A and B are shown apart, each in its own frame.
Chain A
Amino acid sequence: MTRTEPLETEPGLAELARPATRGRSWWQPHRIVLLVVSVALVMLAAATMRWDWLVEYWPQILIGVWRSVWLLVLSIVLGFLMAVPLGLAQVAGPRILALPARGFCTLIRGTPLLLQLWLLYFGVGSLFPTIPAIRQSFLWDYLRQAWPYALFTLTISFAGYEGEVMRGAFAGVPHGELEAGRAYGMSPFKLLRRIWLPRAFFRALPTLGGEIIMQLKSTPLAATITVVDVYGVIAQVRQDTYLVYAPLLFLAGIYMALTGILVLLVRVVESRVPIRGV
């Protein structure tokens, strides 16, 4: 981690640190070929398949995309907020916190998401109506809908995986940097807030980026408990129109586009992070 190159090379190093890749043209041969192939495929699909249903279903598709996106965003944000204490408890917590945290992460990572979702929705969810106290409370408005179960399950799933990631990231922050904070009079909480957490977060970022993209691909499971996300809309289209390929191709295109946007966002955040492999 310590760079000891001679001084003259350092402007070069600083240059490397910048994310921009100026100088090299985007138009490389392999890119041109891929571009041509994909344009041809799209034209082929457009010419040989039926797309008239798009007009009718367009508003629903938009609503579906919106649902998928907020399911993703909310579950990531809430899940990460849970992952931080889950990781921290395992690294630095007393045993009565560390063990349950580890148990939770192991349980979540060891069982299929679909199973968790169904257990909560068809299992726990069917118990709630039998409890009068819940039926009378404001919670009932939510508990009788499907989306809270989807959001909750996606959240704890993300928390389970990222709790493990954050455990590693917290543990990997060099001890000396924490010691420096302590030596300058930081309280344990300030040390966590200013040094340990941001440092661990930046370390975890490349992994988190990948996991967020995985999480997008988990959201369609919500459709199995009647949450009509974009997958749910397309499934409806297929039932109504008896079309096989066109709606699915279109769905693939939507997920590709969403993934592309996520990749770009992750890249923007990552490029602001100074340290790679440190």
Chain B
Amino acid sequence: MSQETAPSPTADRASGHATGAMREAVVELVDVHKSFGQLEVLKGISMTSHVGDVTAIIGASGSGKSTLLRCINMLEIPSSGTVRVHGEEIGLRRNGHGESEIADRRQIQRIRTRLGMVFQSFNLWQHMTLRDNVIEVPIHVLGRKRDEAIRDADALLERVGLFEKRDTFPAYLSGGQQQRAAIARALAINPDVMLFDEPTSALDPELVGEVLTVIRDLASEGRTMILVTHEMSFAREVANRVIFLHQGLVEEEGEPNAIFNHPKSERLQRFIGSIR
């Protein structure tokens, strides 16, 4: 199993971070609320992710991290608020029962092809080989030519160290391998931003490293990423911004150094204390 050597992303990225204000916003959330029935999970979240940003979202279980991430690609539809991707607002409207819904299916389908989601439970399509998983969206959604898609897929599988496994079905792979394949699948659409929802939480401890290596590699090439994670040391290492969620609100946000070494709010201090 070939694996990439770990680059030193912090050094590479340092230069890119300084000019945050000048860079284009890729994902913008403005006052996003989300309720499940009576339960209000997001209580007005605003955040912006710029080109090249690696944003880590941290917080206790149930604080709404996954829900927030899923509001970006509308797997959960915000009850109110605005989501913009590359400046384009995702149209929402109210249906007869006063629930919000997607206004234009076409628009969201188009925008989703710019967002590469990686799930906690991989969610590879089990009836397809790894390579078929990776070429599926380029061919059948983006309408790319098959031979081109295969060429790119093989390069991506090589990159995540799974070229030899390209004709294998997901069920015969370890969790770490499946997650790396899922990352290759997300990369195959060449997304503007990668969305990771706890990509290593479902893995045995000894398999976490191989997946983090791949993500670190993506960070070092300047990919825009939003990453929900429980791996605090990893968040500190690859992220240039950290958002701490508490009970559906952004309690504190800032640079990793500020968040982890000089937490201002008491809740963040307690959260970081509980992790250590």
B-binding residues in A (CB < 8 A): 1-5, 7, 10, 13-14, 17, 174, 176-177, 179-187, 190, 194-195, 198-199, 202, 273-276, 278
B212 CB-CB contact with A under 8 Å: no
Knowing A10-B174, A275-B171 touch, does A183 contact B204 (C-beta < 8 A)?
A: no
- Given contact pairs A185-B110, A187-B105, enumerate 7 new A-B contacts (beta carbons under 8 Å): A2-B121, A2-B122, A2-B202, A7-B1, A176-B119, A180-B119, A190-B141
Q: Which residue of B lies closest to A7 (CB)?
A: B1
CB-nearest residue of chain B to A184: B137
Q: How far is the CA of A2 from the CA of B122 in the complex (A)?
A: 10
Residues in B lying within 8 Å of A, measured CB to CB: 1, 73, 75, 105, 108-113, 115, 117, 119, 121-127, 129, 136-137, 140-141, 168-169, 171-176, 178, 189, 202-204, 207
The contact of A275 among B169, B173, B175, B204, by CB within 8 Å, is B169
In the assembly, what is the distance between CA of A275 and CA of B204, in Å?
22
Name the residue among B112, B117, B123 with the largest chain A CB count within 10 angstroms: B123
Query: Known: A2-B178, A5-B174. Is A185-B141 also a contact (CB below 8 A)?
Result: yes
A180-B117, A183-B115 known; A17-B172 Cβ under 8 A: yes
Residues of A contacting B125 in the complex (Cβ-Cβ under 8 angstroms): 177, 180-181, 195, 199
Contacts A/B (CB < 8 Å), 12 sampled: A2-B174, A3-B173, A7-B174, A174-B123, A180-B123, A185-B112, A186-B137, A194-B140, A195-B125, A198-B127, A199-B126, A275-B169
Q: CB-CB < 8 A to A276: which residues of B?
A: 171
B112 proximity list for chain A (CB < 8 A): 182-185
> How far is B250's CA from A167's CA once the two chains are assembled, in angstroms?
43
Bound-state CA distance A176–B122 (Å) is 8
Given the known interface contacts A4-B207, A7-B1, A7-B174, the answer about A183 and B73 at a Cβ–Cβ threshold of 8 Å is: yes
Residues of A close to B111: CB separation below 8 A: 185
Query: Nearest residue in B to A274 (C-beta to C-beta)?
Result: B169
B127 with A275: CB separation less than 8 A: yes
Q: Which residue of B lies closest to A190 (CB)?
A: B140
**A-B Cβ contacts below 8 A, count:** 101
Q: How far is the CA of A185 from the CA of B192 in the complex (A)?
A: 14
A187, B141: Cα distance in complex, Å: 9
From A14, A183, A185, A190, B168 is in contact (CB under 8 Å) with A14
**In the complex, what's the smallest C-beta–C-beta distance from A95 to chain B, in angstroms?**
16
A2 to B202 Cα, complex, angstroms: 9
B71 to chain A, nearest CB (A): 12
Q: How far is the CB of A178 from chain B (nearest CB, A)?
A: 9
Is B189 a contact partner of A13 (Cβ separation < 8 A)?
no
Are B126 and A186 in contact (CB-based, < 8 A)?
A: no
Residues of B within 8 A of A194 (CB): 136, 140
Contact between B75 and A182, CB atoms less than 8 A apart? yes
CB contacts (< 8 Å) of A182 on chain B: these are 75, 112
For A183, list chain B residues within 8 Å (CB).
73, 75, 112, 115, 117
* Distance in angstroms between the alpha carbons of A7 and B73 in the assembled complex: 34
On chain B, the residues within 8 Å of A185 by CB distance are 108-113, 137, 141
Q: Please measure, in the bound complex, the distance between the C-alpha atom of A7 and the C-alpha atom of B140, giving whole angstroms.
A: 32
Chain B positions within 8 Å of A180 at CB level: 117, 119, 123-125
Partner of A1 from the list B75, B141, B171 (CB cut-off 8 Å) is: B171
Closest beta carbon of chain B to A128's beta carbon, Å: 45
Residues of A within 8 A of B202 (CB): 2
**What CA separation (Å) do A226 and B76 show in the bound complex?**
59
Residues of A within 8 A of B73 (CB): 183
> What distance in Å separates the Cβ of A64 from its nearest Cβ neighbour in chain B?
39
The CA-CA distance from A275 to B168 in the complex, in Å, is 11
Q: Distance in Å from the Cβ of B3 to the closest Cβ of chain A?
A: 11
State the CA gap A198–B175 with chains docked (Å): 23
> Does A3 contact B126, Cβ atoms closer than 8 Å?
no
> How far does the alpha carbon of A199 sit from the alpha carbon of B123 in the complex, in Å?
13
Inside 8 A of B121's CB, which chain A residues have their CB?
2, 176
Chain B contacts for A199, CB-based, 8 A: 125-127
